[in-house]
Amino acid sequence: MFKHVRNWFRRRRYREGRILSRFIADDVRREILIVSAAKVEEGIVTGRVRTTNLLYRSRGLVPEPEFGPPQELRIGEMWHWTGQPWGGLPDGTSLAARLMAARLIAEPPAAEPGAELDRRSAD
Protein backbone atom coordinates (compact mmCIF):
# COMPACT_ATOMS: atom_id res chain seq x y z
CA MET A 1 0.00 0.00 0.00
CA PHE A 2 2.78 2.44 0.96
CA LYS A 3 4.63 1.74 -2.30
CA HIS A 4 1.47 2.47 -4.31
CA VAL A 5 0.94 5.84 -2.57
CA ARG A 6 4.63 6.76 -2.89
CA ASN A 7 4.60 5.99 -6.63
CA TRP A 8 1.44 8.06 -7.08
CA PHE A 9 3.11 11.06 -5.42
CA ARG A 10 6.27 10.55 -7.46
CA ARG A 11 4.35 10.39 -10.77
CA ARG A 12 2.55 13.58 -9.81
CA ARG A 13 5.68 15.47 -8.70
CA TYR A 14 8.12 14.31 -11.42
CA ARG A 15 6.03 14.94 -14.55
CA GLU A 16 7.80 15.53 -17.87
CA GLY A 17 8.43 19.20 -18.64
CA ARG A 18 8.21 20.28 -15.00
CA ILE A 19 11.02 22.32 -13.40
CA LEU A 20 11.81 21.47 -9.79
CA SER A 21 13.77 23.99 -7.73
CA ARG A 22 15.34 23.79 -4.29
CA PHE A 23 18.06 25.54 -2.30
CA ILE A 24 20.84 23.04 -1.66
CA ALA A 25 23.10 25.46 0.26
CA ASP A 26 22.68 28.95 1.73
CA ASP A 27 23.05 30.75 -1.60
CA VAL A 28 22.97 27.88 -4.11
CA ARG A 29 19.80 26.87 -5.95
CA ARG A 30 19.49 23.75 -8.08
CA GLU A 31 16.83 23.50 -10.76
CA ILE A 32 15.98 20.25 -12.53
CA LEU A 33 14.00 20.11 -15.77
CA ILE A 34 12.33 16.69 -15.95
CA VAL A 35 12.85 15.17 -19.40
CA SER A 36 11.51 11.65 -18.76
CA ALA A 37 9.76 10.01 -15.83
CA ALA A 38 9.57 6.51 -17.35
CA LYS A 39 11.51 4.93 -14.43
CA VAL A 40 9.95 6.96 -11.62
CA GLU A 41 8.69 3.79 -9.89
CA GLU A 42 12.34 2.67 -9.66
CA GLY A 43 13.35 6.03 -8.14
CA ILE A 44 15.05 7.34 -11.29
CA VAL A 45 14.16 10.29 -13.52
CA THR A 46 15.91 11.74 -16.56
CA GLY A 47 16.52 15.44 -16.18
CA ARG A 48 18.64 18.41 -17.10
CA VAL A 49 20.32 20.11 -14.12
CA ARG A 50 21.20 23.78 -13.57
CA THR A 51 22.97 24.80 -10.35
CA THR A 52 23.27 28.53 -9.67
CA ASN A 53 25.02 30.49 -6.93
CA LEU A 54 22.46 33.25 -6.49
CA LEU A 55 24.83 35.62 -4.72
CA TYR A 56 27.28 35.51 -7.62
CA ARG A 57 24.41 35.74 -10.12
CA SER A 58 22.77 38.76 -8.45
CA ARG A 59 26.09 40.67 -8.42
CA GLY A 60 26.72 39.91 -12.09
CA LEU A 61 29.84 37.85 -11.38
CA VAL A 62 28.60 34.85 -13.39
CA PRO A 63 26.15 34.63 -16.30
CA GLU A 64 22.85 32.77 -16.04
CA PRO A 65 23.80 29.11 -16.66
CA GLU A 66 21.93 26.90 -19.11
CA PHE A 67 20.53 23.50 -18.22
CA GLY A 68 23.07 20.72 -18.65
CA PRO A 69 22.63 17.65 -20.86
CA PRO A 70 19.98 15.07 -19.94
CA GLN A 71 21.15 12.55 -17.36
CA GLU A 72 19.60 9.89 -15.16
CA LEU A 73 19.13 11.11 -11.59
CA ARG A 74 18.30 9.05 -8.54
CA ILE A 75 15.47 10.79 -6.69
CA GLY A 76 17.15 10.27 -3.32
CA GLU A 77 20.41 11.87 -4.47
CA MET A 78 19.35 14.65 -6.84
CA TRP A 79 19.53 17.37 -4.18
CA HIS A 80 22.92 16.30 -2.76
CA TRP A 81 25.42 19.22 -2.52
CA THR A 82 29.15 18.45 -2.56
CA GLY A 83 30.37 21.97 -1.72
CA GLN A 84 30.59 23.91 1.54
CA PRO A 85 27.38 24.53 3.57
CA TRP A 86 27.76 28.30 3.02
CA GLY A 87 27.65 27.88 -0.76
CA GLY A 88 30.61 28.71 -2.96
CA LEU A 89 31.44 26.32 -5.77
CA PRO A 90 30.92 22.53 -5.75
CA ASP A 91 34.68 21.93 -5.42
CA GLY A 92 34.76 23.95 -2.17
CA THR A 93 36.46 27.04 -3.62
CA SER A 94 35.07 30.55 -3.81
CA LEU A 95 34.60 32.60 -6.96
CA ALA A 96 34.88 35.79 -4.91
CA ALA A 97 38.36 34.78 -3.68
CA ARG A 98 39.43 34.05 -7.26
CA LEU A 99 38.14 37.40 -8.51
CA MET A 100 39.79 39.34 -5.68
CA ALA A 101 43.13 37.60 -6.30
CA ALA A 102 42.91 38.40 -10.01
CA ARG A 103 42.05 42.02 -9.24
CA LEU A 104 45.04 42.37 -6.88
CA ILE A 105 47.37 40.98 -9.54
CA ALA A 106 45.94 43.31 -12.19
CA GLU A 107 46.18 46.48 -10.10
CA PRO A 108 48.43 46.61 -7.03
CA PRO A 109 46.97 48.28 -3.93
CA ALA A 110 47.41 52.05 -3.65
CA ALA A 111 49.96 53.39 -1.18
CA GLU A 112 48.70 54.53 2.19
CA PRO A 113 47.92 58.28 2.42
CA GLY A 114 50.82 59.24 4.71
CA ALA A 115 53.48 57.05 3.06
CA GLU A 116 55.02 59.85 0.94
CA LEU A 117 55.40 62.16 3.94
CA ASP A 118 57.26 59.46 5.89
CA ARG A 119 59.71 58.92 3.01
CA ARG A 120 60.43 62.66 2.72
CA SER A 121 61.08 63.04 6.44
CA ALA A 122 63.47 60.05 6.38
CA ASP A 123 65.73 61.76 3.79
C-alpha 78 chain-centroid distance: 13
Per-residue pLDDT tens digits for 57-82: 888 877 888 999 999 999 989 998 88
The per-residue pLDDT for range 4-25, each reduced to its tens digit, is 888 888 888 999 999 999 999 8
d(CA 77, CA 32): 12
Q: Structural domain boundaries of the chain?
A: 2-91
Find the range with the poorest average confidence among 26-40, 50-64, 106-120. 106-120
Is the predicted pLDDT of residue 50 greater than 70, yes or no? yes
Report the first-to-last Cα separation within the chain, whole angstroms. 90
Contacts of 123 (CB under 8 A, 6+ apart): none
Rounded to two decimals, the pTM is: 0.69
* Rounded Cα distance, 27 and 12, in Å: 28
Q: Is 51 a residue whose pLDDT tops 70?
A: yes
